[in-house]
A = this chain, B = another copy of it.
Amino acid sequence: MSQLQNDTFLRALMRQPTEYTPMWMMRQAGRYLPEYCETRKRAGSFLQLCKSPSMACEVTLQPLARYELDAAILFSDILTVPDAMGLGLYFAEGEGPRFERPLRDEWEIRNLAAPDPHAELQYVMDAVSEIRRALDGSVPLIGFSGSPWTLACYMVEGGSSDDYRKVKTLMYSRPDLMHHILSVTTNAVIAYLNAQIEAGAQAVMVFDSWGGVLAHDAYREFSLAYLRRIAAGLIREREGRAVPSIVFTKGGGLWLEDIADAGYDAVGLDWTVDIGKARELVGHKVALQGNLDPAILFASPDAIATQTRRVLDSYGKHPGHVFNLGHGISQYTSPDHVSVLVDTVRSHSRSLRKG
């Protein structure tokens, strides 16, 4: 593997000083980029795009060709693991992900098994290797997975949900079955992330997208406990350097101190959190990633620059900040507005460190 030319992102995750605040964007390879839409059209469907290592590699690199970003993130779907468990992932046009065989009966839950990442999920590992080669040491590659709770939401609901009625009913009526799903899924996620690291991922992130819909005590029991087990099971060093890990519970701002104790190197924040206050709470224990409201990118260039500087100023000069949006970038974002964001982060954080 070639020597890494820009390791700013990895150093920031390990709370080491950097010359500027590194940045990437959740869903940076996405529909706001016309070149992404072209590749997707060529692929035929979102799922075929995910399952083709060469096309997944192509779209992963697209935002890096446009913007000075400090990390690439594997292009994939968060539901690959339950798909490999046999639930039958598909995308109904305009409706988001769905499963053909959601978990409905006790026997289906008892039959769940963690998939071998080198069997059904080999296409993901192939994508990771191909992207690593294509990046050629320019910036690090982030691997990722959905959290056990978030995966379980989809596995039980069968798709997105407004009220999480099915999964919460199961959780409150049959906590034993819920823990079984979470436990098997946790083993699957650990194996999946470690296989990504072995295939070349230089950092990993766990997306707990739906942790924030839980009651505070249910979050600890049904999401955080499993996030903790994942952190404990991850490969921590590879190719002679640390493989940092990031956890992001959307809507988890209230539980920040517990999340910061879960064993990850960094914690992602959404925009409801004041990142300066968050830093005061967690100190130097973890790095923080975030947290601009992606809706700000719909505003004028001036407003984007102002709000971006605010986030940087709020965090301040401490090491350990990775700039990101507080959620995935919207498909309606103008690519030109992203340039304003990226340029502002780079220039303002550089001068902040000098000032």
Q: Give A residues with C-beta under 8 Å from B.
A: 163-165, 168-169, 172-173, 212, 214-219, 251, 253-254, 271-274, 293, 295-296, 298-300, 303, 307, 310, 326, 330, 332
Cβ of A330: which chain B residues have Cβ within 8 Å of it?
A: 163, 165
Closest to A295 in B: B168
Q: Are B216 and A271 in contact (CB under 8 A)?
A: yes
- Is B165 a contact of A299 with CB atoms below 8 Å? no
Set B163, B217, B272: member contacting A274, Cβ < 8 A:
B217
Residues from chain B with a CB closer than 8 A to the CB of A172 are 295-296, 298-300, 303, 307
Looking at the complex, which one of B299, B307, B310 makes contact with A169 (CB distance below 8 Å)? B299
Name A's interface SS.
helix
Given contacts A295-B163, A298-B168, A298-B169, contact A251 B274 (CB under 8 A): no
Besides A172-B296, A172-B299, 6 more A-B contacts (Cβ < 8 Å) are: A173-B299, A214-B272, A216-B271, A216-B273, A218-B293, A251-B251
Chain B residues, CB < 8 A from A163 = 295, 330
Pair A303/B173 contact, Cβ less than 8 Å: yes
Inter-chain CA distance A299–B219, complex, in Å, is: 17
A31 → chain B closest CB, angstroms: 13
Q: Given the complex, which residues of B lie within 8 Å of A303, measured CB to CB?
A: 172-173
Query: Given the known A-B contacts A300-B173, A307-B172, are A215 and B271 also in contact in the complex, defined by CB atoms under 8 Å?
Result: yes
Q: How far is the CA of A168 from the CA of B330 in the complex (A)?
A: 13
A215 vs B276: C-alpha distance when bound (angstroms): 13
Once A163-B330, A330-B165 are accepted as A-B contacts, the answer to whether A272 and B251 lie under 8 Å apart by CB is: yes
11 contacts between A and B (CB under 8 A): A163-B330, A165-B330, A172-B298, A172-B300, A214-B272, A215-B271, A215-B272, A215-B293, A216-B274, A217-B274, A217-B310
- Please, which residues of chain B bring their CB within 8 A of the CB of A299? 169, 172-173
Q: Are A164 and B295 in contact (CB under 8 A)?
A: yes
Query: Hey, which chain B residues are within 8 Å of A295, CB to CB?
Result: 163-165, 168-169, 172
CB distance from A221 to the nearest CB of B (A): 12
